[in-house]
Amino acid sequence: MKFTDFKNNAELLAHFGFNLQNGSFVNFKAIAELPLPTFLEEDFAFVLENRGNTDMEFYACEALIFPILKEVWKRNPKVKVFSHPQIKYEDLILVPDYVVTPKDKTGTNTFQKPLLVTIEAKNDDFELGWSDAYRQLIVARHINENAAIPIYAIVSIGKAWEFGKLDGKTIYRHPSTVGLDNPNKLLGILDFIFADCVKTAEKFDLF
């Protein structure tokens, strides 16, 4: 059965033996906030004020999502952020906006086992974004060839971010949305997730 044959997310998840749980897989309130650098605060204010009515997905990716991912990446340099890589499963090719993997042991920056996939919500539609995320998590699990390796997911429209995690047979979707109206909290959560990806890579000897 091909990915395109599934009529809805319930069919897809059931076929691969996964279940969806809307719940707090981590306590966001307990995560320390990090101050957003002043230059980013000014950049985001400018971008949001000048965003056009027709500026959609790529605008959010380039102007809002990647700059804050890059800031967190600098704090966690043992991982690598890939932009729009192709990930394949059978005859399906998916292109997440960003994928976080361990840095390659050889230093060649080749694509490794995914620890985090990020997806921009299509037309600011979170549900469409999560439909993509479920598929990308399933494919990432097949790439990893190890069901014990957890994989995070982020769906964002730039201004607002939602978080999930594939752990074992369960895909957790956190009930809280965090956005640029609380940038220090957003930066803290992202730093926590990147740091946890590093811990996972160390635990499974992926560096």
**88 in a domain, yes or no?**
yes
> For the domain that residue 37 is a member of, what is the CATH number?
3.90.1570
Q: What SS3 class is residue 54? A: coil
Task: Residue 62: count other Cβ atoms within 10 Å of its Cβ.
Answer: 14
Per the model's pLDDT, the better-predicted residue between 206 and 5 turns out to be 206
**122 in a domain, yes or no?**
yes
Q: Over the chain, what is the mean pLDDT?
A: 92
The pLDDT of residue 18 is 96
The pLDDT of residue 48 is 87
Per the model's pLDDT, the better-predicted residue between 36 and 109 turns out to be 36
Name the E strands within the chain: 19-22, 79-83, 87-89, 92-94, 98-102, 116-120, 151-156, 160-167, 170-173, 178-179
Nearest-angstrom CA–CA distance, 146 and 113: 10
The pLDDT of residue 193 is 98
- pLDDT tens digits, residue range 7-33? 899 999 999 999 999 999 999 999 999
- pLDDT of 171 higher than 80: yes
- Residues comprising the chain, all counted: 207
The pLDDT of residue 53 is 66
The pLDDT of residue 197 is 98
The pLDDT of residue 6 is 83
Name the E strands within 13-115: 19-22, 79-83, 87-89, 92-94, 98-102
- pLDDT tens digits, residue range 55-111? 566 778 888 999 999 999 999 999 999 999 998 887 788 899 999 999 988 878 889
**94 in a domain, yes or no?**
yes
The pLDDT of residue 60 is 83
Task: State which residues form the domain around 77.
Answer: 20-203
The pLDDT of residue 99 is 96
DSSP assignment letter at 108: S
The pLDDT of residue 108 is 80
**10 in a domain, yes or no?**
no
> At 207, is the pLDDT very low, low, confident or very high (cuts 50, 70, 90)?
confident
Name the E strands within 55-139: 79-83, 87-89, 92-94, 98-102, 116-120
Count how many domains the chain has. 1
The pLDDT of residue 104 is 87
What residues contact residue 120 under an 8 Å CB cut-off, 6+ apart?
57, 60, 61, 65, 97, 129, 155, 156, 157, 158
**11 in a domain, yes or no?**
no
Portion of the chain with pLDDT greater than 70, in percent: 95
